[in-house]
């Protein structure tokens, strides 16, 4: 019964998100969807990790409305996500809903060795799909740090990204960078109650899906410091961060990847 309830929950949310796009409440321009679908539907037991920037409370689940409806009826082709306990697991109703929606309760401040990270690794070892927001919290683009030349950079990623990839023991997961645009205009931060909970429909969104990170790059980062696991974990995390940021820069330079 729990599995059935989870399927119903995921399908209902996914179809609702598709309806938002179909009814033009929001428009979305997607590039690279075939890369993700090919990874999900031809895994051969290999886990899939997608990693993106996190710019609004609606990044997940709304983004997954880009998927074909068939994806919502199999746990293998629907993502597992890590959700902050103090944000989405705040009462019994929300906790039940998000657990059924394939969200793993994560506790801020408990570090990379908490049960949520163990659970994500377990999902990957069983050929599942885990989506990560590497920053660990929402950073809208106007809050991105700038370097001495004034160039904005994606905030650094949490080391849990590196641990999840390094300790997936069955097969090296396929890691796919993603870049989201427009969601910060759909749900701007800093608005007063009750407006902060009301989406600004009519917003143009963009979802760019990049090529998988080459396995040899991941393996090289994992073995970069054989006597210092923390340093290797940091290298892996930085590698994934740089691929996501690079995809964002390509999207900014190429109008076909922008809304």
Q: What angle do CA 218, 233, 115 make, to 5 degrees?
A: 110
CATH no. for residue 176? 3.40.1130.10
* Predicted confidence (pLDDT) at residue 48 exceeds the cutoff of 90: yes
Residue 138 domain boundaries:
2-257
Cα separation values, 202 from 25, 167, 205, 253, Å: 5, 42, 9, 24
Task: State the Cα–Cα distance between residues 160 and 234, nearest whole angstrom.
Answer: 9
Global pTM reads 0.94
Contacts of 149 (CB under 8 A, 6+ apart): none
Tell me the per-residue pLDDT of 91-102, one tens digit each, with 9 for 90 and over: 999 999 999 999
pLDDT of residue 70: 96
Q: How many domains does the chain have?
A: 1
Task: State the Cα–Cα distance between residues 223 and 70, nearest whole angstrom.
Answer: 38
Tell me the per-residue pLDDT of 117-164, one tens digit each, with 9 for 90 and over: 999 999 999 999 999 999 999 999 999 999 888 899 999 999 999 999
pLDDT of residue 42: 86
């Amino acid at each position: 019964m729990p599995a059935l309830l989870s399927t119903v929950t995921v399908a209902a949310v996914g179809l609702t998100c598709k309806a938002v796009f179909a009814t033009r409440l929001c428009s979305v321009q997607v590039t690279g969807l075939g890369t993700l679908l090919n990874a999900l539907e031809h895994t051969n037991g290999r886990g899939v990790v997608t990693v993106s920037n996190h710019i609004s409370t609606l990044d997940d689940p709304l983004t997954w409305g880009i998927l074909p409806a068939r994806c919502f009826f199999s746990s293998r082709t629907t993502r597992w996500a890590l959700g902050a306990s103090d944000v989405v697991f705040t009462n019994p109703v929300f906790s039940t809903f998000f657990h059924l929606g394939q969200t793993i309760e994560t506790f801020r401040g408990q570090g990379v060795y908490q049960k949520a990270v163990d659970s994500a690794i377990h999902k990957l070892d069983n050929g599942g799909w885990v989506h990560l927001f590497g920053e660990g919290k929402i950073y809208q683009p106007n809050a991105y740090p700038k370097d001495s030349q004034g160039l904005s950079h994606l905030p650094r990623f949490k080391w849990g990204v590196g641990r999840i990839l390094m300790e997936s023991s069955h097969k090296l997961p396929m890691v796919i960078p993603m870049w989201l645009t427009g969601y910060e205009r759909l749900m701007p931060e800093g608005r007063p109650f009750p407006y902060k909970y009301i989406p600004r429909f009519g917003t143009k969104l963009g979802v760019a899906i990049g090529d998988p990170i080459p396995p040899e790059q991941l393996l090289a980062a994992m073995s970069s410091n054989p006597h210092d696991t923390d340093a290797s974990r940091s290298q892996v995390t930085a590698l994934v961060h740089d691929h996501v940021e690079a995809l964002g820069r390509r999207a900014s330079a190429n109008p076909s990847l922008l809304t």
